[in-house]
Amino acid sequence: MALTGVLRPGIIQLRVLDMDDAIVHYRDRLGLQEVMTGDDGRVYLKGWDEFDHHSVVLREADEAGMDLFAFKVADTETLDQLAADVAAYGFEVSDVPAGEQPGVGLRKSFEIQSGHTIQLYAEVEQAEKTPTIVNPDVWPEEPRGMGVNRFDHALLYGPDIDQVTDFFCSVLGFSVAETAETPGGIAVWLTCSNKAHDIAFVPIPDPNSFHHVAFFLEEQNHVTHAGDVMAFYDIPIDVGPTRHGITRGRTIYFFDPSGNRNEVFAGGYTYYPDNPTRSWTADQIGKGIFYYERELNEAFLSVYT
């Protein structure tokens, strides 16, 4: 697949209640690499299999949740065109200057119908530690903790998801890989690549709500190992290990010390733009979310930050 326009999820900025606890969780337990701490106290991390300067930003705050989700686009010309298209669609677009996050160029920022802040950027420096590209080993250094490879996707909650879907597809060029009938309406799994999803939305009345951030693992055995790490360190587990019907991914959901839900995710089907949209009806939504259990965990629907 020739990827153009929006390439992939790039950066997620999370609010945490205690930075020291959060660093231990994301660096030592999940296995992200700590890149640096900024002058304002924000902490920057990345997965061992990522080339960019960082992908996860932690900001200490009084309330947990997500500040922003940023996508990497192909080049500066694409960034300018997409920013113009977003403005023409009716959103107010503001500039976040280069360097506001270390190593990241100009970002275009706007709020979508669900209340979430979405950003686009084209330029980012490479990290000091990256995967090797000449005679590369499987990993650049031995992974620690759960050994997560990369920031993979996020699931967001909010209103007007039908309008959100229209914006992502008609302006940003995403495709709807999968849908599901939920108690609040139609949930969508959206992709800009050949992954089963790069971002997903579930309809609820509360705007700007954050359900989970997901980190990629290569295979099911790594998901099992992650579960062992969670059990050893008494990390609160929400659901799993199990499998999704939607996306087919192997999964465990758990919580960081601030109450932000995390996921480790492996597998998932390959998506191509000419694929039809897969769909799940209301009477099968339990199997769609948790394929083996075939029923919903109530906390999975109702707990978010």
The reply to whether 53 belongs to the active site is: no
Catalytic position from the list 26, 44, 157, 253? 253
Q: Which of 53, 197, 211, 222 is catalytic?
A: 197
Backbone angles phi, psi at 193, to 5 degrees: -140, -155
Pairing of strands 237-243, 249-255: antiparallel
Given the residues 222, 263, 271, 304, the one annotated as active site: 263
Buried/exposed code over 205-236 (b: 16+ C-beta within 10 A; e: otherwise): eeebbbbbbbbbbeeeebbebbbebbeeeebe
What residues does 178 pair with on adjacent strands?
189, 278
Tell me the C-alpha to C-alpha distance, in Å, between residue 257 and each of 180, 226, 263, 276.
Answer: 30, 17, 14, 39
Secondary structure (3-state) at 297: coil
d(CA 247, CA 161): 19
Q: Which of 53, 116, 222, 244 is catalytic?
A: 244
263 is catalytic: yes
Compute the radius of gyration of the chain from its Cα atoms: 18
Name the active-site residue from 212, 222, 271, 304: 212
* Known active-site residue 233: no
Helices first, then strands: H and E counts in the chain: 6, 17
Annotated active-site residue in 54, 153, 211, 222: 153
The set of catalytic residues is 153, 197, 212, 244, 253, 263
